[in-house]
Amino acid sequence: MKPHKQIKDWGLGLNSPLIIAGPCSAESPEQIESICKGMIEENVIPSLFRVGIWKPRTRPGSFEGIGEEGLKWMEIVRHHLNIPVTTEVGNAGHVEIALKNKVDVLWIGARTTVNPFAVQEIAEALKGVDIPVMVKNPMNPDLDLWMGAIERMHAVGIDKLAAIHRGFSDAYDKRFRNKPNWSMPIHLKRVWEGMEVINDPSHIVGKRDGILEISQRAMNFGLDGLMIETHHDPDNAWSDAKQQVTPRALKEILQSIDFKNPME
Ligand code: PEP
Ligand code: MN
């Protein structure tokens, strides 16, 4: 693949290690405001705010996302934190709505990366658009599928690219919600020199305990950032309640990570 722009050259004032935080799902304007205020109170302001608007749930019947309305609440984030926002898109319609609402960075979720038709549809919708795209690894440990999705973005002219390592589904693993398989992100970085990989410990661990350990390992392995799901009231979150952390816990995690001398 031809060279792409690194996070520092996305034009959003971001740098690696990139810290991304925010709720699994947007729920209400009050929720977004409480999370922002919590971050200010704890003085833990991420570089990029994440929020799920369309939620691809494994089983039907659970909360499937608030939809476009939630994107209007991103103004609350801009007002309080003055940072860019990112959301997940799963089809061309989502892309159109996200662009209309001035989302700064898009990401492609693990359940979408597995489907080249869906990825290609998103790519076509992004033709001629200058926006950074982060691609999560597919549910299954298939490096080609992950790389293929990134290549499909690049092929339509998206050159602001990063990968997200969120672990791989494994029905037999009791410890992790999604097994990290560290060799995958490490291999991706080796094959594509300069491809930054953000670690998502929240979806790897699936619960609050262990997020620090996985985050530190990611830094030890030379990954380029962290995406940590953060909610002011995690136990009552509408999705991924077990794994979200409060702004205070986020601060404690970030303060405990050795970013400078990760191997020590
Ligand atoms: C999410 O980030 O909330 C999400 C649905 O992630 P994934 O695609 O990694 O399951
Ligand atoms: Mn989630």
| Ligand 1 atom at minimal distance to the Cα of residue 109 | 8
Q: Is residue 264 part of a domain?
A: no
Q: How far is CA 85 from CA 23, 46, 117, 204, 252, in A?
A: 12, 10, 26, 22, 23
Check: CB of residue 85 under 8 Å from CB of residue 49: yes
Strand partners, 52: 25
For ligand 2, the distance from its centroid to the CA atom of residue 260, given in whole angstroms, is 28
Number of domains in the chain: 1
CATH number for the domain spanning 102: value is 3.20.20.70
Residue 261 lies in a domain: no
122, 112 Cβ separation under 8 angstroms: yes
CA angle, residues 62, 67, 71, in degrees to nearest 5: 135
- Identity at 100, one-letter amino acid code: K
Q: Specify if 105 maps to a domain.
A: yes
Domain-embedded: residue 44: yes
| Contact present, 140 and 169 (Cβ < 8 Å) | yes
Q: What pLDDT does residue 241 have? A: 98
Query: Which residues approach ligand 1 with their CB closer than 6 A?
Result: 24, 52, 109-111, 136, 166, 203
Ligand 1 atom closest to Cα of 164? 9
* pTM above threshold 0.80: yes
Ligand 1 mutation target, pool 66, 89, 136, most atoms within 8 A of CB: 136
Give a yes or no: residue 76 inside a domain: yes
Q: What is the pLDDT of residues 68-118, one digit of tens each?
A: 999 999 999 999 999 999 999 999 999 999 999 999 999 999 999 999 999
Q: Does the pLDDT at position 8 exceed 70?
A: yes
The boundaries of the domain holding residue 92 are 7-256
Minimal-distance CA residue to ligand 1 atom 10: 110
Query: Which atom of ligand 1 lies at the shortest distance from residue 55's CA?
Result: 5
Instruction: Report the atom number in ligand 1 closest to the C-alpha of 25.
Output: 3
Note whether residue 13 is domain-resident.
Answer: yes
Query: What is the CA(2)–ligand 2 centre distance, in A?
Result: 31
Element (H or E) spanning 191, and its range? helix 183-191
In this predicted structure, what is the pLDDT of residue 3? 84
CA triple 166-245-51, angle to 5 deg: 60
For residue 94, tell me if it sits in a domain: yes
Q: Is 264's pLDDT higher than 60?
A: no
Predicted local distance difference test score (pLDDT) of residue 263: 62
| CA nearest ligand 1 atom 2, residue | 24
Which residue owns the Cα nearest ligand 1 atom 3? 24
| Tens digits of residue pLDDT in 211-256 | 999 999 999 999 999 999 999 999 999 999 999 999 999 999 999 9
